[in-house]
């Protein structure tokens, strides 16, 4: 079974949780240790990526370590077209649809497409919508961020992604955001589209994870929290709130 099929099958049974690990923030061995703890907490998959400092080498080493330590599927969450690896199970082949730069909408993808095909890595197409505050990814990607009052803009982008044939859509507040994507925006987008909806950025409590799920998120991503939390009970409670209860 491919990773897309695995994710969609899990999402049909309820929301899933994905951990995001940035190879620039810890070594491969530590990433493996975190992934094993996440697997025990109930995480469904591990995304690997970051806006800066990711290389083909640290990406590949991190992916191998996570796979060996946890057995969880690894999905490259790319931050630039230079860093690629055949050691991930899949790559989110994504377009930042509200970037103001053609580079992040389609040119980076065009420059990497042949190499990705050559690596034989499964591609999962993803429409990436950056919501305020957007944080580093919003700055690097020169996003015209969707403001919290601009729900219909978020719906328009998400529907456009679906109509363009993308597999998934992602509402992103940015890693470390002080305000996650608001629940009313999540529910409006969920009502409008039939492709699975991923939500992330600034989610670090069970309450925030539950609010995103109850609003309609099919997948909840936590990065900073996962990398910093040393309390397994707390890890489990955020993962469980993302998935049920």
**CA-CA distances (angstroms) from residue 43 to 20, 70, 199, 224?**
11, 10, 15, 15
Give every CB contact of residue 171 below 8 A, 6+ residues apart in sequence: 129, 131, 154, 158, 181, 185, 186, 189, 197, 198, 199, 200
Half-sphere exposure of 12 (CA within 13 A, CB side): 5
Can you point out the beta strands (E) in 165-244? 168-172, 197-200, 219-222
What is the nearest approach in angstroms of ligand 1GP to the Cβ of residue 110? 23
Q: Which of 72, 219, 221, 238 binds ligand 1GP (CB under 6 A)?
A: 221
Q: Which is nearer to ligand 1GP, 32 or 79 (CB)?
A: 79
Q: How far is the CB of 233 from ligand 1GP (least distance, A)?
A: 19
Phi then psi for residue 43, to 5 deg, are -60, 145
Mark 1-40 with x for binding to ligand 1GP (rule: CB under 6 A) and - for no binding.
-------------------x--------------------
Told to check if 176 binds ligand 1GP by CB under 6 A, we report yes
Residue 129, by phi and psi: left (phi above 0), alpha (psi -120 to 50) or beta? beta
Q: Which stretch binds ligand 1GP (CB under 6 A): 25-33, 78-86, 222-230, 232-240?
A: 222-230
Stretch that binds ligand 1GP, among 88-96, 138-146, 200-208, 209-217 (CB under 6 A): 200-208
Least distance from ligand 1GP to the Cβ atom of residue 20, Å: 5
Which residues of the chain form contacts with ligand 1GP (CB under 6 A)?
Answer: 20, 172, 175-177, 200-203, 221-225
């Amino acid at each position: 079974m491919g990773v897309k099929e695995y994710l969609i099958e899990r999402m049909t049974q309820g929301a899933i949780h994905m951990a995001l690990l940035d190879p620039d923030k810890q070594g491969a061995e530590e990433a493996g240790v975190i992934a094993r703890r996440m697997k025990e907490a109930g995480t469904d998959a591990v995304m690997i990526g970051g806006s800066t400092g990711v290389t083909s080498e640290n990406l590949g080493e991190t992916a191998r370590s996570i796979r060996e330590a946890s057995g969880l599927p690894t999905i490259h969450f790319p931050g630039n077209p230079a860093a690629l690896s055949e050691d991930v199970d899949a790559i989110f082949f994504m377009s930042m649809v509200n970037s103001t730069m053609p580079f992040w909408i389609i040119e980076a993808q065009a420059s990497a497409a042949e190499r990705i095909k050559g690596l034989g890595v499964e591609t999962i197409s993803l429409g990436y919508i950056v919501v305020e505050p957007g944080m580093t990814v919003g700055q690097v990607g020169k996003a015209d961020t969707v403001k919290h009052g601009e729900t219909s803009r978020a719906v328009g982008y998400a529907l456009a992604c679906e109509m363009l044939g993308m597999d998934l859509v992602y509402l992103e507040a940015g890693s470390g955001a002080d305000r996650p994507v608001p629940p009313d925006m999540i529910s409006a987008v969920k009502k409008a589209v039939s492709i699975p909806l991923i939500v992330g950025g600034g989610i670090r409590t069970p309450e925030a994870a539950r609010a995103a799920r109850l609003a309609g998120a099919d997948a909840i991503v936590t990065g900073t929290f996962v990398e910093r939390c040393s309390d397994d009970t707390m890890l489990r409670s955020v993962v469980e709130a993302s998935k049920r209860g």
